[in-house]
Amino acid sequence: MSAPLDVGAGYAALTGASGWLRLDRDVVRVAGPDAATYLQGQISQDVVALPTGQSAWTIVLQPQGRIEVWGRITRVGDDEFLLDTDGGFGEALVARLVRFKLRVKADVEALAWSCVAVRGPAAVRPAAPPVAVVARAEWPLLGGWDVLSPEAVPVDGVPEVPAEAFEVRRIEAGLPRMGAELTDRTIPAEAGIVEMSVSFTKGCYTGQELVARIDSRGGHVPRRLRGLTLPAGPPVPAPGTAVEVDGRERGAVTSAAGHPDGRVVALGFVARDVEPPADGECGGAAVTIAALPTG
């Protein structure tokens, strides 16, 4: 197996062709006669309508409507589902699902599985190992496929890209990450994940009320996730670094990375009355505030 591309070449592969890498994802199986009806009442996606073999983004909410876990659900069979989320949050997902599982004929278990991601405009569905699930990963600028399986298997004919290149592209694409953009204080509409992750026709589920109320009011929330770009030269700002507009603090960085061209790209929540594109300051450097990609 050849060595991974360097960051610049890896970024070029992700933007112009395709590349693969091992992603840190936690995988949870929910299976049993009541699995579909149970999940239908617990997560934001329409589980019952999801065809076997298909995947969709979904949110597991706190009863108050804030995010507990954001991830993806894949229907493996009539009574079996896999949920995967960012690494380090599988335990929270299991605990949340078990907490509400009363008199339900379904098992919830964490799987010691790995994830190999194929991303880029030319990404093709990879062949699956004998025990595996191939899940669609749809997102603006960063679509592709993920192979979830007990062992991470390289993808033939596709170059391996470094995690640093993927992180730059993740930030440019506005793909939020648990523990960074998404915490237990985040409202889904702030992060731009409602359209892809929520069904408004499926009926009731835990935490639905706040999501539905915000949607009925036009999606207005106090802050929005925005893309931030800093020029070459200043150091990469740490999470929590203030974003100022007209001398006032209006937001903060959640993720940042050095771009291969020397600039710094970042994500951060910014007050909704700051209409992009807008200019400001971040960590003593000029910053451009932009809306996230939509296609």
pLDDT in tens, 192-213: 999 999 999 999 999 999 999 9
Q: Report, as an integer, the average pLDDT of 219-224.
A: 90
Statement: residue 295 has pLDDT above 80: no
Q: Looking at residue 175, what is its pLDDT?
A: 98
Write the pLDDT tens digit of every residue in 68-88.
999 999 999 999 999 999 999
Q: Looking at residue 53, what is its pLDDT?
A: 96
Sign of the torsion angle spanned by Cα atoms 67, 71, 75, 80? negative
Record the tokens describing residue 193, joined without a space. 């994940």
What structural domains and CATH numbers belong to the chain?
Answer: 7-173 (3.30.1360.120), 222-295 (2.40.30.110)
Residues near 223 by beta carbon (within 8 Å), at least 6 away in sequence: 190, 251, 269, 270, 271, 272
Please tell me whether residue 171 adopts helix, strand or coil conformation: helix
Looking up tokens 């399986």 gives 149
Q: Report, as an integer, the average pLDDT of 254-280.
A: 97
The dihedrals phi and psi of 59, each to the nearest 5 degrees, come to -120, 135
User: C-alpha distances in angstroms, 136 versus 3, 57, 84, 85, 133?
Assistant: 26, 10, 12, 13, 10
Statement: residue 144 has pLDDT above 90: yes
Which helix H or strand E contains 97, and what residues bound it?
A: helix 90-99
Q: Report, as an integer, the average pLDDT of 166-173.
A: 98
- Chain-wide mean pLDDT for the chain? 96
Residue 128 burial (10 A CB sphere; 0-12, 13-18, 19+): middle
Q: Looking at residue 219, what is its pLDDT?
A: 74
Q: Looking at residue 3, what is its pLDDT?
A: 86
Write the pLDDT tens digit of every residue in 32-80.
999 999 999 999 999 999 999 999 999 999 999 999 999 999 999 999 9
Please tell me whether residue 193 adopts helix, strand or coil conformation: coil
Asked whether the beta carbons of 181 and 255 are under 8 A apart, the reply is yes
pLDDT tier for residue 114 given thresholds of 50, 70 and 90:
very high
Statement: residue 133 has pLDDT above 90: yes
Q: Looking at residue 128, what is its pLDDT?
A: 87
Please tell me whether residue 23 adopts helix, strand or coil conformation: strand
User: C-alpha distances in angstroms, 283 versus 14, 134, 154, 252, 253?
Assistant: 29, 41, 39, 10, 10
Q: Looking at residue 1, what is its pLDDT?
A: 62
Asked whether the beta carbons of 147 and 126 are under 8 A apart, the reply is yes
Q: Give percent of the chain with pLDDT exceeding 70.
A: 100
Residues near 27 by beta carbon (within 8 Å), at least 6 away in sequence: 82, 83, 84, 90, 110, 111, 113, 115, 148
Asked whether the beta carbons of 80 and 107 are under 8 A apart, the reply is no
Asked whether the beta carbons of 228 and 287 are under 8 A apart, the reply is yes
Q: Looking at residue 255, what is its pLDDT?
A: 98
Q: Looking at residue 217, what is its pLDDT?
A: 81
